[in-house]
Amino acid sequence: MSIVADDRLTALSGDDISRYSRHLILPEVGVEGQKRLKAARVLVVGTGGLGAPVILYLAAAGVGTLGIMDFDTVEISNLQRQVVHGTADIDRPKVASARDRISGLNPDANVVTYNVRLTSENALDILKDYDVVVDGTDNFPTRYLLNDACAFLGIPNVYGSIFQIEGQTSVFYAKQGPCYRCLYPSPPPPGLVPSCGEGGVVGVLPGIVGTIQACEVIKLLVGGGQPLVGRLLLFDAWNMQFRELQLDKDPACPVCGQDASIHELIDYEQFCGLKAEQEAAPVDTITAHELKARMDQGSALQIIDIREPHERAVFSFAGAKAMPFGQIVRRMDEFDPSVDAVFICKVGQRSVYAIRALQDAGYTGRLINLRDGSNAWARDIDTTLPQY
């Protein structure tokens, strides 16, 4: 059964019949299914790697109303995978770029843009107007927020996530099966899972996963096929392998279980440990200019490059000792506590976690973080080096 109400269905125009003819002659969709797509309202949260193919294919398929939400602007590094944007869109709001691309592809699509961050304060008011929500986000607080809001409103949440060369997809629909919390009751510790900006991602991966998400949305709207409710699809792009895991509803789930204990949206940054991280004692920092000055003065320094080998292949930091993040604590005896140690990563975030790990392990020497990491060095000191 489709989740689109029958009383919203309207006739297809002559242009509709021409544009969607390949759907109309398909028994699984047909005229009835195309009417449901035309009447449907879908919200895509995130217009990045995952959201890009979702938006394009749903617009092309004839989904009547597309809500697109993102508060970011287009950067050149996005274009390796976020195919809804182009070079001319750099520095534009992503929702504006995506809206223009949709209009060029299908001018009949009604596009509603939200150039805001999804929060506990606005989520329910925005989501309640949609039939399906697509999770194209890249952070844990928003994933849990989307899950809980969809569970409270009874809306299917078409989930996707990617990391480096692997992706996963499911449909979390608390009315019919498990929710995201049934699969992941609690988030990982802050910093454990790198973002795409730090861990990298093969460009086609979000295209594949996002296209699967778009297919799941279409099935939910037309009421056909076997949606991924209660199933988690795992994809390994490098070995071109798919696996499927069966998901069961957790009776003890605090959101969709028998005795649910959460009945309203909470502080998701606090739930994911990010506020505790923000409130932790600050680490010492140094700017690229300050580090260059100390190096020119011949100051005694231990410069530790915690980037991975494939990152150092982009460019190496002269005079630094290579020590990947995962080796820091067990190689603590290689540091000299009497000499300041400066830690370098790509953007200055992993190095904070490395410093705190050493402090927790009992290291007593002074530990300093290079603010904004190797990108700051390439930006401010040696502009012949790439920012990546």
Q: What is the pLDDT of residue 260?
A: 87
Q: What is the pLDDT of residue 194?
A: 65
Q: Report the chain's C-alpha Rg in angstroms.
A: 24
Would residue 272 show up in a list of annotated catalytic residues for this protein?
A: no
- Strand 166-172 to strand 110-114: parallel, antiparallel, or no bridges (unpaired)? unpaired
From the list 179, 182, 196, 215, the catalytic residue is 196
CATH homologous superfamily for the domain 281-380: Rhodanese-like domain (3.40.250.10)
Of the candidates 124, 121, 224, 217, the residue with the CA atom closest to the CA atom of residue 173:
217
Residue 90, judged by CB atoms within 10 A of its CB (0-12, 13-18, 19+), counts as middle
| DSSP-assigned states of every residue in 24-47 | HTSTTTHHHHHHHHHH-EEEEE--
Would residue 182 show up in a list of annotated catalytic residues for this protein?
A: no
86-138 pLDDT, tens digit per residue, is 999 999 999 999 999 999 999 999 999 999 999 999 999 999 999 999 999 98
Q: Identify which has the larger pLDDT, 186 or 26.
A: 26
For the whole prediction, is pTM greater than 0.85? no
Residue 240 has pLDDT above 80, yes or no: yes
Q: What is the pLDDT of residue 192?
A: 64
Q: How far is CA 368 from each of CA 10, 245, 268, 341, rounded to the nearest angstrom?
A: 64, 44, 30, 6
Say how far apart CA 57 and CA 142 lie, in whole Å. 23
Q: What is the pLDDT of residue 1?
A: 66
Mean pLDDT computed over 220-236: 95
Residue 279 has pLDDT above 80, yes or no: no
Look up the CATH architecture of domain 6-277.
3-Layer(aba) Sandwich (3.40)
Query: Is the Cβ–Cβ distance between 364 and 336 less than 8 Å?
Result: no
Q: What is the pLDDT of residue 387?
A: 85
Q: Indicate the domain borders of the chain.
A: 6-277, 281-380
Q: What is the pLDDT of residue 275?
A: 63
| β strands within the chain, DSSP E | 41-45, 65-69, 110-114, 132-135, 157-163, 166-172, 231-236, 241-246, 284-286, 302-305, 321-322, 341-344, 367-370
What does pLDDT average to over the chain? 92
Percent of the chain, pLDDT > 70?
96
